[in-house]
């Protein structure tokens, strides 16, 4: 994350200089500096992780389609790049045969992917229950980095609602709970309560995050040492949650 903060500070400094006596000089170098800045963003860890998460999503789809987890339906919950993994997993499954009845619910939080309604309608067809797009309108980090990298005309799902007539897709605004992208891990329990995750007394949820990809999968995807994703041991204990379903 140090890279992203330093990049943001650099942009802030450049913007500040525009309002000083150096404004003329800044105007002269603005174009080449912008090109160099964009080049650094394209190959940064965020860009690499976005590409890898799409590949991991396809690997997850293969695992689910072969019923390696058993025959019971699964509920997929993820935030940030973990939600992106789920998105690409469902998109891959929607293109396969015998893909129904595997995923019960899919809850995607702060997802860095397109909000194209046709794509979301396709993935909703293979989910038996809820398809949740939980977003934060004030997520400046996601707004800046993802739009710089992808520039989707349809917008980003993690920033706004999916405009669809499909009532299977639920849009939940988390702006009153989190102020930005980095608050999702700290407030995950509160978020899940707000969304209305139904769990029994002994339930424990294993979340798909950027650190929960198995090491063998990293090797198969050829993730190098600079971007190796470590296995996560974190589990959210929801035994004390009094869940209340909130739908929009």
For the chain, 248 residues long, give each residue's pLDDT as a single digit of tens. Answer: 554 445 444 444 444 434 444 444 444 444 444 444 544 554 567 777 888 888 999 999 999 998 888 888 999 999 999 999 999 999 999 998 888 889 999 999 999 998 899 999 999 999 999 999 999 999 988 887 766 655 565 688 999 999 888 888 999 999 999 998 889 988 888 899 899 986 554 455 555 544 544 454 445 444 443 333 333 333 434 443 344 444 44
* Phi, psi (deg, nearest 5) at residue 246: -125, 115
Distance CA 44, CA 78 (A): 22
What per-residue confidence (pLDDT) applies to 34?
45
Contacts of 80 (CB under 8 A, 6+ apart): 109, 110, 111, 112, 158, 181, 184, 209, 210
Residue with tokens 């004390």: 240
Distance CA 138, CA 123 (A): 26
Distance CA 90, CA 126 (A): 8
What per-residue confidence (pLDDT) applies to 145?
73
pTM listed for this prediction: 0.67
What per-residue confidence (pLDDT) applies to 223?
41
DSSP codes joined into one string, the chain: -HHHHHHHHHHHHHHHHTTSTTHHHHHHHHHHHHHHHHHHHHTSHHHHHHHHHHHHHHHHHHHHHTTTT-SS-EEEEEETHHHHHHHHHHHHHTTSSS-TTSEEEEEEES--SB--HHHHHHHHTTBSS-EEEEE-TT-HHHHHHHHHHT--TT-BTTTS----S-TTEEEEE-TTT-SSGGGTTTTHHHHHHHHT----TT-EE--B-TT-S-HHHHHHTT--GGGPPPPP---EE-TT--------
């Amino acid at each position: 994350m140090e890279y992203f903060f330093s990049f943001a500070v650099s942009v802030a400094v450049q913007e500040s200089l525009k309002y000083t006596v150096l404004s003329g000089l800044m105007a002269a170098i603005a174009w080449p500096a912008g090109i160099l800045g964009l080049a650094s963003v394209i190959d940064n860890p965020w860009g690499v992780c976005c590409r890898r998460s799409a590949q991991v999503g396809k690997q997850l789809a293969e695992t689910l389609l072969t019923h390696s987890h058993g025959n019971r339906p699964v509920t997929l919950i993820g935030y940030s790049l973990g939600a992106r993994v789920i998105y690409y997993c469902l998109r891959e499954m929607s293109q396969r045969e015998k893909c129904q009845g595997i995923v019960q619910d899919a809850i995607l939080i702060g997802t860095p992917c397109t909000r194209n309604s046709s794509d979301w309608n396709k993935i909703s067809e293979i989910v038996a229950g809820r398809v949740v797009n939980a977003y934060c309108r004030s997520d400046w980090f996601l707004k800046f980095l993802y739009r710089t990298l992808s520039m989707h005309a349809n917008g980003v799902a993690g920033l706004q609602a999916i405009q669809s007539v499909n009532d299977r897709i639920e849009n939940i605004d988390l702006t009153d709970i989190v102020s930005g992208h980095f608050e999702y891990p700290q407030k995950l329990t509160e978020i899940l309560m707000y969304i209305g995750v139904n769990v029994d007394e002994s339930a424990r949820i294993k979340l798909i995050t950027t650190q929960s990809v198995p090491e063998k999968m990293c090797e198969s995807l050829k993730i190098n040492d600079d971007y190796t994703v470590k296995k996560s041991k974190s589990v959210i204990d929801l035994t004390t949650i009094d869940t209340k379903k909130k739908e929009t």
